[in-house]
Amino acid sequence: MTASYGTRTTPPRCHKNLFHSCRFVGIFLVTLVILLPTSSDACDDPPRYESMMLKNVSKDLYHPGDQIEFKCRLGFKPITPLLPTTAICQANNTWTPLQEACTRKSCPQLADPSNGQVNGTFLFGSEVHFVCNEG
């Protein structure tokens, strides 16, 4: 990665009176080369889940040993028995995998109307339809 960066960069032409700015560019490039390998010592962004969201606001960078905690999204409740909701940034820069630990809440069951029926599920986010009986 650092090598390809070097080949793409055309070296700035140095005139005597521009020596200082050229040296500045040199220092900048050396700093970049030093920083690039260390910036890969971090986990990717926290994984996303349908039923869970981060408890705390996401950080820009996570290092091995950092922990993140998830909570149920709006409309979801914890599955029982409880499943783990904490992931750890591991030494190889991957997050410990988690299962979806929450499930959709359900609205109270609706009774069938006289001469008809309710069609659909009562889970968060779903619709039901009232259907008239034939005739």
What residue ranges bind ligand NAG (CB under 6 A)? 56, 67-69, 90, 92, 94, 119, 131
Phi/psi of residue 52, each to 5°? -130, 155
Nearer to ligand NAG by Cβ, of 9 and 119: the residue is 119
Nearer to ligand NAG by Cβ, of 74 and 132: the residue is 132
Angle at 33 between CA 32 and CA 36, to 5 degrees: 80
Nearer to ligand NAG by Cβ, of 86 and 106: the residue is 86
- What Rg value do the Cα atoms of the chain yield, rounded? 28
DSSP 120: E
Query: CB 125 → ligand NAG: shortest distance, Å?
Result: 15
Query: CB 105 → ligand NAG: shortest distance, Å?
Result: 21
Nearer to ligand NAG by Cβ, of 5 and 130: the residue is 130
Residue 113 tokens read as: 């109307």
CB 55 within 8 A of CB 71: yes
Please give the distance of CA 130 from its chain centroid, rounded to a whole number: 39
